[in-house]
Amino acid sequence: MNKRMTWEEIENTYPDKWVGLSEIEWDGHPPDVRSAIVKYVGKSGGSALKRQIAGEDIYTTYTTPNNLCPLGILVSRR
């Protein structure tokens, strides 16, 4: 971690993981990441989101090989 990677490298290195990114170079507009530095990797988005809420300057997203989205992201909890 702590080296600049393209989005393709991030997806290939950390497949099906939540990542916290910093120093993002956007490919046009968010959420399209061209490259970034990976600061956090995990199976749960909660830990990365807690870091973000606590003030850490990261963008939290999920690596989705083949553009597949985990069901948990799409389902709202009430």
pLDDT band at residue 65, thresholds of 50, 70 and 90?
Answer: low
pLDDT at 70: 55
Is 55 inside a domain boundary?
yes
Whether 76 is covered by a domain: the verdict is no
What is the reported pTM? 0.76
pLDDT tops 90 at residue 78: no
Query: pLDDT of 39-53, one tens digit each?
Result: 999 888 888 788 888
Amino acid letter, residue 75 = V
With respect to residue 75, please indicate whether it lies within any of the assigned structural domains. Answer: no
- Taking only the tens place, the pLDDT of each residue in 3-28 is 999 999 999 999 989 999 999 999 98
What's the domain range around 16? Answer: 4-66
Peptide bond just before 70 cis, omega within 30 deg: no
Q: Measuring CA to CA, how many Å separate 77 from each of 47, 73, 74?
A: 18, 10, 10
- 38 domain-assigned: yes
Integer Cα distance of 78 and 65 in angstroms: 28
